[in-house]
Structure 1
């Protein structure tokens, strides 16, 4: 049983929602649930496939997950969901670097498969890199995707107005919404908006929804407007995170700050 209990629970359409006392408790609760999912996959099939998100909102979860006992990381294959197009893999804002620093180097999984940046010196075309990563994902069906919602409600880098719920591909190049680019500056990953790349390679929404289980980890007051939009307004591609209300295998984790508007509106 998960030792961290929410202060409030509810459901919006098909999506269970839990509100925790703090960001730290939210991260610990999600980590315990992730542990159960990974352990079950390993028990059933001898291995587990995990897709992780990056960003400051994921830190309490990633740090809690790496500290938990009982996960045989030598049987876990780790993927992630997006990377800036053309960025140096050693750049402080590189997402594979972020994951290596915050979890990969601490747990030593069976394998870590970074989304390619296709930067200078790459011998593979962007189109081929996307196709190759999509094939890798299909050959390793995800047991769990742990993701967040952006300040504009995005999933991975599927930003409004470019998100497609029925995208025909699993991995593609996208143009980044200015809100997403400003978020990266606000989180301290870039010094100015001009430094933030304009395009990225991302897993699409169908690729994320294909996972057996989805944990949506969305703390912090800066996400309160996105949480309200995704839960209180109609399911729509202009609010990509709202798609989780239509599936049976997702759970949403909030803290008091990110839940403030939906709590005030009596939605939970």
Structure 2
């Protein structure tokens, strides 16, 4: 496991962009697992800049998004489908037929989960999975629970997750209560996992993830067992870490 400390959100985003760009330069047909939320916004801006200035090529890449709200259409302004198009896909040369999302409107959530798993398998598996982390250490929408969920599934969102996401909606009551999410097992199968955290409100989750007990009550803690994880934090998010071998960027 590798930890990279950065001074602030922008430098965290810059380091993450370098890793994703290197992945695409070394393997142009990479399968990327991508995340939404506020954490990767500047990372996506920097990837767009690399596309525009040095020709970072997305044309052979495939993307699978971590999650999508249940009940929101792809055109809904708060859907993750729309988020990804507005923040990345519409600004680079990725092909629409290589972009995949779990379907938040599927009538049969179990069947949709199986469909998504088969699509990832058919693509050859995920080469690099990008993750943010919630204040309760959720990754994707895998909330604290009694066990780790293996595959793509429908999840009921915890109150603190709903409250945290309310800033993107007109009010908290407008936040969907369910989502489709890759499971912990799906995430864990990625060949390289890139975990980003920014801000003091993420510090305890980062410490519990990296240095605490491995438990489904701290979903991201399972990443301690993955052979290739890179954690990039700014100073605030990494302020409680005591682990040796830190890198400075």
TM-score exceeds 0.5 = yes
Structure 2 match to 1:115: 102
Structure 2 match to 1:38: 24
Give the aligned CA root-mean-square deviation in angstroms. 1.9
> Is structure 2 residue 184 aligned with structure 1 residue 184?
no
2: CA distance between counterparts of 1:225 and 1:22?
17
Structure 2 match to 1:72: 57
Cα offset, 1:48, TM superposition: 1.5
2:43 corresponds to which of 40, 55, 61: 61
**Counterpart mapping for 1:145-164 below 5 A:** 145-161=129-145, 164=148
2: CA distance between counterparts of 1:30 and 1:150?
18
Structure 2 match to 1:135: 118
Deviation track 1:131-187 (CA, whole Å, cap 9, x = no partner) reads: 2111101111111111111111001000002651xx34x2111111111111101xx
CA contact (8 A) 1:48 1:76 kept: yes
Structure 2 match to 1:88: 73
How many residues are treated as equivalent by the alignment? 240
Cα offset, 1:245, TM superposition: 1.4
CA contact (8 A) 1:54 1:95 kept: yes
Unaligned 5+ residue runs, structure 1? 1-14
CA contact (8 A) 2:34 2:131 kept: yes
1:261 corresponds to which of 233, 240, 244: 240
Cα offset, 1:70, TM superposition: 4.5
Structure 2 match to 1:12: none
CA contact (8 A) 1:96 1:115 kept: no
> Is structure 2 residue 218 aligned with structure 1 residue 231?
no
CA contact (8 A) 1:59 1:102 kept: yes
2: CA distance between counterparts of 1:174 and 1:18?
31
2: CA distance between counterparts of 1:193 and 1:17?
34
CA contact (8 A) 1:157 1:176 kept: yes
TM-score, normalization by structure 1: 0.84
1:203 corresponds to which of 182, 195, 216: 182
2: CA distance between counterparts of 1:52 and 1:126?
21
Deviation track 1:191-245 (CA, whole Å, cap 9, x = no partner) reads: 3222111111100011111111111111122211211222232111111111111
CA contact (8 A) 1:41 1:143 kept: no
Unaligned 5+ residue runs, structure 2? none
* SS of the residue 1:207 aligns to: helix
